Every structure is written in structure tokens, then in C-alpha cells.
Amino acid sequence: MQIKGKKTKSIKKHKTKRSRSKGDGFVFSIAGVHGVGKTTVYLLLQKKLIENKNILFMPERLRANPPVPFGSKDKNIAFRAELHYNQQMIKRNEIIKKFVTNHRERICISDRTPFTTIAYARALSLPKIDYSLINDTFTSVSWQKDHIIFLNAEPKTIMQRIYHRGSLDISREKWNEGDFEYLKRVLKKYEEIFIENKIEKNNRITRIWTENMTAEDVVNRIIEIIEQRTRLLLKKQIKVPVNQSKLTNWIPEI
């Protein structure tokens, strides 16, 4: 899906630094809009591959509980949340670099890509001065190059998943995730960023359409993608029970 939109000048002016030498390991980021099921998939993938000591699983945040809710309609709160998220991504990047540098046999699998910070900052329509601060910080970092595994589905399907998990987590209401227009804006901003940074052109993204797929289906597909790109054998595929439920009935995303 290619969605055209206006390019943000700061992204165009300051090219994002991405690095990976031939002797380094690989970084795969499981990405997608909130509610699509990426964290559920990430946790299941971690459970299946936890015994592989050459794989580092990097959670979305190093700090379990964010100081302020993400996606708030209050611009001041939203700005503070994006600053915190950017900080967490930078700290993650330092850990990832140390793990994969000069270790070709190592793989890092992360929940979300650093581009998430910019996608949400744009979707939240932060004031120009606030967005510039976040973007300038982001573009000043030498990010370890990642391959993005982007999960997607019909927006209405994603909203159904959000409502399903939202009924189990009241705190999510503060995250503005029940706003359908906000969800569509985030999807659009992701696509803008992928185009601007030539992610598709440089073969740095693999898309998985999760409609009518089980969590295990998606995990098996991700394992295939990683093995194909790294030429490293991870683990045998997961056997899916005949009565396995579809993604709409997944466990709530953390």
C-alpha cells in the first residue's frame, strides 16, 4: 500500500543515518500501527526462539511503564511521551549495536522500528517547534540498520482488535487508540516515511497482510523471512492446531 502525502522538510533535509557493516549481525523490527498485533507476535516469537543464544529480543521500551500516556490529545502530554519514546529508542540502539557489531551470526528482533517515533509525532500533529526537536534528535543518531517486518490489516479489522484488548485494559483509553481517524493518520505517516527514506526501494521492508491469519501463521512467516535474509536456521516451524483462532481473538497486546 502506497499512500502519498506531503513530505516533511526536516526529514528531507536531514538524511537519517543508518549503518551496518558486512561483518555485523542482523536487526529485524516488527512494526505496524497500534492494535495490529505486533507485540503479541513479538512475544510469541520470543517464546519460541528464546533458547537461541544468538538472538536478542528487544522490547518496545526498556522502561515497562511510560511516565505519560502515548497518543494523548493533549499536545503537551503527547510531546513529553514522544520525547520519552525517542530516548528509549536511542538506548535500545546502543544495546543493539553492541550485540550485533562484528558478530555476523547474531540477530536482534525488536518490537517496533525507530521510525515509529516520527510516524506518531507526525500523526499527532505536534506544534512545529516540538516536532522539530524530536526529528532533529532522531536524525542525529546513527541507527543500526534494520529490516522492517510491517504487519498490516484493514483499518476496521485493527479497530476490532483494539476494542477487544481495550475491554481488558482501561488505561489504554488514555492512549487515544479508539480514534479511527488517528489510526488512519498513523498508517499514512508510516507510508510517507517509508517513501521518503526509500525503505521499499532499498528492499528494507517485508509486509505481512494479517487478515485471516493466526498469530502462529504470522510467526512462522517471520521466521521464514529472517532465515531467508540471514541464511541462518532458527527453529522448526510452529505446528498450528486445527481449531486455532484468528488474529481478531488474540490475547491483548501489551
pLDDT at 195 over 70: yes
**pLDDT at res. 73:** 86
**pLDDT at res. 17:** 56
Mean pLDDT value across residues 48-58 = 95
Domain ranges of the chain: 21-235
133-171 per-residue burial string, b: 16 or more CB within 10 A, e: under 16: bbbebbbebebbbbbbbbbbbebebbbebbebbbeeeee
Give tens-digit pLDDT for 125-174: 999 999 999 999 999 999 999 999 999 999 999 998 888 765 445 555 56
Count the alpha carbons within 13 Å of 106 in the hemisphere toward its beta carbon. 16
Give 142's DSSP letter. Answer: E
For the ranges 86-100, 113-127, 135-149, 230-244, the lowest mean pLDDT is seen at: 230-244
Give tens-digit pLDDT for 4-38: 444 444 444 445 555 556 789 999 999 999 999 99
**pLDDT at res. 161:** 87
User: Measuring CA to CA, how many Å separate 37 from each of 48, 79, 248?
Assistant: 17, 25, 9
* CATH number given to 21-235: 3.40.50.300
In the structure grid, which three cell numbers stand for residue 134, read together?
524530536
Task: Tell me if 224 sits within 8 A of 217, measured CB to CB.
Answer: no
Give tens-digit pLDDT for 197-240: 999 999 999 999 999 999 999 999 999 999 999 999 986 544 54
Maximum separation of any 2 CA atoms in the chain, in Å = 53
